[in-house]
Amino acid sequence: MEKQLHEQYEYARRRIKQKKRLYFHFVVFVLGSLLLFVSHNILDSSFVTQWYLWIITTWLFLFILHFIKIFITDRFMNKDWEREQIDRLVIKQQKKIEQLQSKIANYEPNNNVKL
């Protein structure tokens, strides 16, 4: 029972760490976006108009990927999901092996074959 409690604790600790990094990423994204916006307006850059929007858009895309990984992918495809899939595939392989063994056991060579 203690092993199961330890696994649950480790899973919870890992998820909290992932969420903490995601929230930190969000805060850095918001602050960075504000800094880019302000710096664009202060520099009054006419070299490339609204260059900061490209950076913010790319950063937002990366943040969305991070969000999907934490709250969608990792939530459903965790260790329990992996174990379940492995167990399912092992059972499927065992059934195929049993079917092949039963075919071999029931196989009767045809002695009436003429050459």
What pLDDT does 62 receive? 94
Identify whether the C-beta of residue 78 lies closer than 8 Å to the C-beta of residue 12: no
- Give the list of residues 6+ apart from residue 51 with CB closer than 8 angstroms, or none: 40, 45
Mean predicted lDDT score pLDDT of the chain: 84
Helix, strand counts (H, E) of the chain? 4, 0
**4-41 tens-digit pLDDT:** 888 888 888 988 999 999 999 999 999 999 998 888 88
Question: Residues 13, 57: contact at Cβ < 8 Å?
Answer: no
Q: Is the pTM of this model over 0.85?
A: no
pLDDT tens digits, 74-102 = 777 777 777 888 889 999 999 999 998 88
